[in-house]
Amino acid sequence: MLRSHTCGELRHTDVGQTVRLCGWVNTVRDHGGLIFIDLRDRYGMTQVIFDPKDSQAAWDLAQATRPEYVIRIAGVVEARPADMVNPRLATGAVEIRAREIAVLNKSLTPPFPLDDGADKVAEDTRLTYRYLDLRRPLMQRRLVTRHAVTQAVRNYLDAQRFMEVETPILTKSTPEGARDYLVPSRVMPGCFFALPQAPQQYKQLLMMAGMDRYFQIARCFRDEDLRADRQPEFTQIDLEMSFITPEDIQTLVDGLIAAAMAAAGHPAPALPLPRMTYAEAMSRYGSDKPDLRFGMAMEDLSDVFRGGGFKVFAQAIEKGGVVKAINAAGLAGAPIRQVDEWTALAKEGGLGGLAYIRVQDDGAWKSPIVKFFSDAEKTALTQRLNIRPGDLILFAADAPARVHAVLGRLRLLAGAAANAIPADAFAFTWVTDFPLFERTEEGRLQSMHHPFTAPHPDDIPLLDTTPEKVRAQAYDIVLNGVELGGGSIRIHDPEFQHRLFGLLGLPAAEIEDRFGHLIRALGYGAPPHGGLALGLDRMVMLLVGASSIRDVIAFPKTQKAVDLMMNAPAAVDDRQLRDIHIRTVAAAPAKAE
């Protein structure tokens, strides 16, 4: 055996043992004739001492090592003197007095130091040398947690009688709202596979195949525009179940989340996780992914100000709008500049302006608008918003959608400004009953989730009259203002599925071409079914406190969707292009050698 222990293993109880360790030289220090090497591997770090009195040959070799050399040492475990014990290191009670050393491989000088300081190194450099970046203990811990979470999820789902099934990567386009990655076919000139944006249709087909409960840690591919923190390929915990209600799925996923939290070393959240409807989320938080780590929820004051003395509010309500406010607690002293910025933001959002009240320390209200308020209005305001000295009250009055959008954004900004959002808290919520459709800018209906989503049974009569009012049996799970995942109950009636594609404006020929297989399959006894997918990358990112999904993916692409380490995408030779019947119109950029 090359090694008897890992670099994270030795404790005081091992003192006196002869051991062999392998690893990377983290640091080499010369201290009054003794050489100290901190030896590192995935499991930890161990201090090794070379004394010329023990072995001059070993000392000579140790002295010639450099950071990132790969070495093997043999020696005896000794207790560190009491004043040298390092409580921050798991192996900090011991050190190894080395008798032998072998250099297994040398290393060039790394382009950046492999410690936490590397977080300040340009990300492109880290990604070009990702194998070095991943040697850092921080990155190793993140990938270890990712593994632990994935493993816990697998075990949990297995215990719930889910079976893991792999679905194809070379497939046909499925609508999830992004552009497809296409792969040309060599054997069918002019035809293309699409990489899956999600295994959506396959998992539904597996329910039709009687598999009852499916899951997959599934790679998905979406060629999206460069929005913040997206990756062209990412991983979903994808699941589907037969004979199931939305509540059943939510309860099951509650347990999955608790298992993932435990695997990442966090206390279990109280179950069931909170649930709120989409309408409530929009109305109270102005967002379908509310951050519930803090309060400052919107209060509807329309009933208070209806027909009141402050005309701006009264008129907005008369026109069918609403008056809402948030209590930005503790921000009464916010600088003018800040309030001006927020007012500009409100105007950008289509509002006439932003009304506010600063509640002074003595309780007096400082605001140009309070003189228009009656005593009854003031009392109602104080109660509804729980107003106290030091608070800043922000009002918006307009159509509900605008008010929600603006106050929703201001709530997040105010929460941050007041330091009211605890960074280490985990606030989950389900958001249920999403609308089935949204309107595109051209006024067409499009699915808010995907076109396989079933409507709420009570709303089916509205499909032909006011489709935008139809609620879907769709739900999202949200953590700290981030959508972790979502899913729905699916349509299992072939005629209804056909009708829904029609409502989305698809002509019959296109329905047959794109979804004929699915509609046919629904016709052979499809069970009622539903499911959901959770973004594994995002979940792990939040669980380890990283700020980007790139930090929890071993080999991510840059924000420009390239792999800097492998140099992909790259040009291919003409022969390969001929084989797949492709002629390019754009020349590939010259290689940066």
- Answer yes or no whether residue 532 interacts with ligand ASP by CB under 6 A: yes
Q: Which stretch binds ligand ASP (CB under 6 A): 308-316, 430-438, 529-537, 547-555?
A: 529-537
Nearer to ligand ASP, 65 or 488 (CB): 488
- Answer yes or no whether residue 235 interacts with ligand ASP by CB under 6 A: no
Identity of the residue numbered 229: D
Q: Which of 153, 198, 406, 410 binds ligand ASP (CB under 6 A)?
A: 198
CB of 357 to ligand ASP, least distance (A): 42
Question: For strand 18-31 and strand 70-79, is the pairing parallel, antiparallel, or unpaired?
Answer: antiparallel
Rounded CA gap, 455 and 246, in Å? 12
Q: Which of 92, 451, 531, 556 binds ligand ASP (CB under 6 A)?
A: 531
Nearer to ligand ASP, 47 or 488 (CB): 488
CB of 119 to ligand ASP, least distance (A): 31
Rounded CA gap, 94 and 19, in Å? 12
Nearer to ligand ASP, 44 or 486 (CB): 486
Nearer to ligand ASP, 207 or 533 (CB): 533
Q: Which stretch binds ligand ASP (CB under 6 A): 154-162, 330-338, 526-534, 571-579?
A: 526-534
- Answer yes or no whether residue 533 interacts with ligand ASP by CB under 6 A: yes
Question: For strand 445-447 and strand 437-439, is the pairing parallel, antiparallel, or unpaired?
Answer: antiparallel
Nearer to ligand ASP, 450 or 498 (CB): 450
Q: Which stretch binds ligand ASP (CB under 6 A): 7-15, 103-111, 527-535, 555-563?
A: 527-535
Helices (H), 137-199: 137-159
- Answer yes or no whether residue 451 interacts with ligand ASP by CB under 6 A: no
Burial of residue 7 (number of CB atoms within 10 Å: 0-12, 13-18, 19+): buried
**Taking CB under 6 A as the criterion, which residues in 147-186 touch ligand ASP?**
176
Extended strands (E) in 67-126: 70-79, 94-105
- Answer yes or no whether residue 246 interacts with ligand ASP by CB under 6 A: no
Q: Which stretch binds ligand ASP (CB under 6 A): 54-62, 286-294, 412-420, 485-493?
A: 485-493
Nearer to ligand ASP, 176 or 212 (CB): 176
CB of 340 to ligand ASP, least distance (A): 40
- Answer yes or no whether residue 556 interacts with ligand ASP by CB under 6 A: no
CB of 176 to ligand ASP, least distance (A): 5
Stated as kind and residue range, the H or E segment containing 537 is helix 536-544
Give me 443's structure tokens. Answer: 């006024």
Nearer to ligand ASP, 114 or 489 (CB): 489
- Answer yes or no whether residue 491 interacts with ligand ASP by CB under 6 A: no
Torsion of CA 219, 225, 228, 233, to 10 degrees: 10
CB of 284 to ligand ASP, least distance (A): 25
Rounded CA gap, 549 and 552, in Å? 5
Nearer to ligand ASP, 46 or 167 (CB): 167
CB 486 within 8 A of CB 449: yes
* Count of residues that bind ligand ASP according to CB under 6 A: 9
Centroid of chain to Cα 359: 38
Task: Count the neighbouring beta carbons within 10 Å of the beta carbon of residue 399.
Answer: 15
Helices (H), 264-310: 278-285, 302-305
CB of 428 to ligand ASP, least distance (A): 18
Task: Find tokens 């499909």 and name the residue.
Answer: 463
CB of 204 to ligand ASP, least distance (A): 9
Q: Which of 91, 283, 488, 497 binds ligand ASP (CB under 6 A)?
A: 488
Q: Which of 175, 246, 487, 556 binds ligand ASP (CB under 6 A)?
A: 487
Burial of residue 20 (number of CB atoms within 10 Å: 0-12, 13-18, 19+): middle
Q: Which stretch binds ligand ASP (CB under 6 A): 73-81, 330-338, 437-445, 482-490?
A: 482-490
Nearer to ligand ASP, 455 or 486 (CB): 486
Nearer to ligand ASP, 7 or 479 (CB): 479
CA nearest 236: which of 252, 224, 220? Answer: 220
CB 181 within 8 A of CB 223: yes
CA nearest 287: which of 402, 396, 415, 405? Answer: 405
Task: Count the neighbouring beta carbons within 10 Å of the beta carbon of residue 91.
Answer: 25
Question: For strand 355-359 and strand 365-366, is the pairing parallel, antiparallel, or unpaired?
Answer: antiparallel
Give me 142's structure tokens. Answer: 């993140």
CB of 200 to ligand ASP, least distance (A): 4
Question: For strand 163-164 and strand 322-328, is the pairing parallel, antiparallel, or unpaired?
Answer: unpaired
CB 331 within 8 A of CB 414: yes
Tell me how many degrees the CA angle 310-314-319 measures, rounded to the nearest 5.
150
- Answer yes or no whether residue 497 interacts with ligand ASP by CB under 6 A: no
Q: Which residues bind ligand ASP (CB under 6 A)?
A: 176, 198, 200, 486-488, 531-533
